Amino acid sequence: MMSVMLKLRLPIFFIGFAGFVVAERYLRMESYYYYLLGVSLFLVALGSFIPLAKSWMVKKAGHQKEAQCWRYVSYWMWTILVACGCFLGYEHLLGQSAYPDTMAGKVMLGVWLILFIMGFFSAVGVEISHLNSGSGETAEPKRIFRSTVSWKLVGVLLIILVCVNYASAKKDKAYDWSYLKTTTPGESTQNMFKEAKEPIEAAVFYPRDNEVGLQVKQYFDFLASNAPGLKVNYYDHQLHPSKAEDFKVSRNGQVILRSGKKRERIDIGLEVKSARNSLRKLDGLVQKAFLRLSQEQKRIYFTRGHGEMSWAGSKKDPLNSISTLEGVLRNQNYSLRFLGLSDGSGTEIPEDAAAIVIAGPDQPFLKAEADAIARYIDRGGRLAVFLDVDKSIKMGTTVQRNANDPLLKVLKAAGISFNANIIANDKNFVSATRSQADRWFIFSNTFSTHESVANLAKNDERVAMIAFRSGYYDVKESTGDWRAYTTVRSLRDSFVDLNKNFKFDSKSEKRGSYSLGAAAVKSIKAKQPVKAGDDKKKDHVEVTDARLVVFGDSNFISDALIRNRANAIYALDSIRWLAGLSKEHGGEISSEEDVKIRHTNKEDAIWFSATVVVMPLLVLLAGFVATRRRKTKKLG
């Protein structure tokens, strides 16, 4: 009879435990709930009693070791039975609440969970080792004990992880070490919300404990803690229908930013798979929504008709396309337009132009176009000119810049002269092709304190601009009413590669720090006519300033290079400065999108030494130590 009961003990136990779970989870409102609960607990208790009875029987027969083995078997079963009792006590203390709100309830929650986890993992260790343990005097209680302890340690690890996760959730702390990455609010975004003139309300619509929602909550909690003017509320579309109607939200997975009567929606999603990309660039999405709420759209004109870089066209050369820059600027609430002869560039620059950008032309501007740009600047216009040492044209020849180019004369009037010779560096360069041509692929983290590069200067230890075949500028600090400033310099060991042999020739070339980028400002006084109904009888004078930004390599804004963060920051901050936006709006847009890693030649040297020299030496050293130990043991 006992042998049959021993074979049935596990089925009886698990049938009873399954009945207990079903009764508690699904049948609590049924009239037969207590009958099913009682029968289930009886079966669990019966299954737990059988190995204990067997232990008493073999002990009387004088088999102490086997009796101890059966006691170990009964312990895990009784542990789970006690855990079931503690769960019933926890349910009684919980009452109608969804979560424990008393200390006794929280303690009981922890007790039943710990007992259940420890009992479950003990069961795995005990049952596996008991199958291989003998009977009578050949029984191995120590073996069962060691196996039980090992599996209990696994349970303890799980308990620690559960406790840490629970405490972190309650303390609103989350540490994301997984593939799912969410951006944190960048400095630029935080400054924008701090400077907001009108209070902004953020309504986040997600169900409770949604994985994506927790990531979004982490972002907005951090942003709200650093921006007093931002008020964040969290809603569930199903549980808060009036709020969903108020914010005009049709489903969960959306964030609404509202200021006054204006509102902007950010669609993120509910599922991790579909929301991953949005979470990685969440900071950029929030910035875009904020800018649409808080400021008027600025219009930037890009010149065309001279072989400039463009985002248009089906076949895009990565070094001649600026599609990435176009997308970033549109997300920053800029309106982009082309400006060519057919658009009136030879007569007058449009009045709504916040700035003009000339990106890598390979043909000279007409005098009429340059004159129109000069008149635009004289009335307080803003101009960005990104030149190149040379640009290929359809016939395969090269157009070399010269002093007769009308555009260069406009720059020279501001104290900035372009020198179309390549800056090279044979000591510090970007390793791209691993050929000598990489010496023209330079980088620099030498920035001035000028407002257009202030954010780069603050982070010069972490970021560096990269440029390919860059020219340089001669900058005069004062020319008439203009004040010019160097903003980006090459590293001090750079040189002008006059003969284009990729090598430093000490007889004809000189190492030094050359001006790669510059900016210039000129104050403009303009009389504004008296408006109707104005008490003042005289026209009043309005003071503004003309602004100019230049860089010696247009490739730095190309799709191939702008993914380098410093390049993107320089382009964005320069245009922000030209458009007259607050300097606090400058800086990097936080993003967790993957970017291609580039190495400098110094980094390559370190990796080469580590892989070719250091690692083999470590292997040889380990082998030497191992063989010496063997010899020592043999001699001993």
C-alpha–C-alpha distance, residues 48 and 309, integer Å: 79
What letter would DSSP give residue 510? -
Task: Answer with the residue of higher pLDDT: 101 or 317.
Answer: 317
Give the pair of three-digit tokens for residue 495. 């040189």
- Please give the backbone phi and psi of residue 517, each rounded to the nearest 5 degrees, phi first: -135, 150
pLDDT digits (tens, 9 = 90+) for 567-596: 999 999 999 999 887 554 444 545 444 444
Q: What DSSP assignment string belongs to 71-88? A: HHHHHHHHHHHHHHHHHH
Which whole number is the average pLDDT over 110-130? 87
pLDDT digits (tens, 9 = 90+) for 187-216: 778 888 887 778 889 999 999 888 889 989
Q: What is the pLDDT of residue 401?
A: 47
User: Which residues, in sequence order, are CB contacts of 404 under 8 Å at separation 6+?
Assistant: 364
Out of 157-171, 181-195, 276-290, 513-527, pick the least confident. Answer: 157-171
Out of 26-35, 112-121, 321-330, 440-449, pick the least confident. Answer: 26-35
Question: Would you place residue 628 in the very low, low, confident or very high pLDDT band (cuts 50, 70, 90)?
Answer: low
Radius of gyration from C-alpha coordinates of the chain: 37
Nearest to 400 by CA among 445, 361, 366, 436: 361
Q: What is the pLDDT of residue 295?
A: 74
Give the pair of three-digit tokens for residue 156. 């303890």
Portion of the chain with pLDDT greater than 90, in percent: 39
- Is residue 13 a contact partner of residue 43, using CB atoms and an 8 Å limit? yes
Task: Answer with the residue of higher pLDDT: 135 or 504.
Answer: 504
C-alpha–C-alpha distance, residues 367 and 347, integer Å: 11
- Is residue 280 a contact partner of residue 595, using CB atoms and an 8 Å limit? no
- Is residue 468 a contact partner of residue 451, using CB atoms and an 8 Å limit? no
∠ CA 7-8-12, rounded to 5°: 150
Residue tagged 């400077």 (tokens): 195
Residue tagged 């820059």 (tokens): 325
Which segments of 387-445 are extended strands (E)? 390-392, 398-400, 416-419, 423-424, 430-431, 441-444
Which whole number is the average pLDDT over 492-504? 93
- Top mean pLDDT of 19-23, 130-134, 294-298, 620-624 is at 19-23
Nearest to 43 by CA among 16, 83, 77: 16
Give yes or no for residue 298 having a pLDDT over 50. Answer: yes
Nearest to 307 by CA among 296, 294, 317, 293: 317
Which residues make beta-bridge pairs with 89? none
Distances 473 to 15, 284, 499, 515, 553 between C-alpha atoms, Å: 84, 33, 19, 5, 11
Give the burial string for 303-313 (b: 16+ CB within 10 Å, else e): bbbbbbbbbee
Give yes or no for residue 487 having a pLDDT over 90. Answer: yes
Q: What is the pLDDT of residue 599?
A: 47
User: Which residues, in sequence order, are CB contacts of 502 under 8 Å at separation 6+?
Assistant: 424, 426, 436, 437, 439, 440
Average pLDDT score over the chain: 82
pLDDT digits (tens, 9 = 90+) for 444-475: 999 999 999 998 998 888 889 999 999 999 99
Q: What is the pLDDT of residue 68?
A: 87
Q: What is the pLDDT of residue 465?
A: 95
Give the pair of three-digit tokens for residue 47. 């299954």
Give yes or no for residue 534 having a pLDDT over 70. Answer: no
Q: What DSSP assignment string belongs to 438-469? A: GGGEEEE-EE-S-GGGHHHHHTTTT--EEEES
C-alpha–C-alpha distance, residues 491 and 468, integer Å: 14
pLDDT digits (tens, 9 = 90+) for 151-172: 888 888 888 877 777 666 555 5
Q: What is the pLDDT of residue 137?
A: 74
pLDDT digits (tens, 9 = 90+) for 45-82: 998 998 888 888 888 888 888 888 888 888 889 999 99
C-alpha–C-alpha distance, residues 343 and 323, integer Å: 21
Task: Answer with the residue of higher pLDDT: 107 or 356.
Answer: 356
C-alpha–C-alpha distance, residues 608 and 606, integer Å: 5
Ramachandran region, residue 84 (left: φ > 0; alpha: ψ -120 to 50; beta: rest): alpha
Question: Would you place residue 174 in the very low, low, confident or very high pLDDT band (cuts 50, 70, 90)?
Answer: very low
Task: Answer with the residue of higher pLDDT: 607 or 413.
Answer: 413
Portion of the chain with pLDDT greater than 70, in percent: 82
Residue tagged 């001669």 (tokens): 474
pLDDT digits (tens, 9 = 90+) for 407-424: 999 999 999 999 989 999
Number of CB atoms found within 10 A of residue 47's CB: 24
Q: What is the pLDDT of residue 600?
A: 52
Q: What is the pLDDT of residue 580?
A: 84
Helix (H, G, I), strand (E, B) or coil at 155: helix
Q: What is the pLDDT of residue 619?
A: 58
Question: Would you place residue 131 in the very low, low, confident or very high pLDDT band (cuts 50, 70, 90)?
Answer: confident
Task: Answer with the residue of higher pLDDT: 279 or 391.
Answer: 279
pLDDT digits (tens, 9 = 90+) for 382-395: 999 999 887 533 33
Which whole number is the average pLDDT over 600-621? 54
Which whole number is the average pLDDT over 307-336? 86
Give yes or no for residue 621 having a pLDDT over 70. Answer: no
Residue type, 133: S
Task: Answer with the residue of higher pLDDT: 613 or 108.
Answer: 108
Give the pair of three-digit tokens for residue 367. 């005098």
Ramachandran region, residue 209 (left: φ > 0; alpha: ψ -120 to 50; beta: rest): left
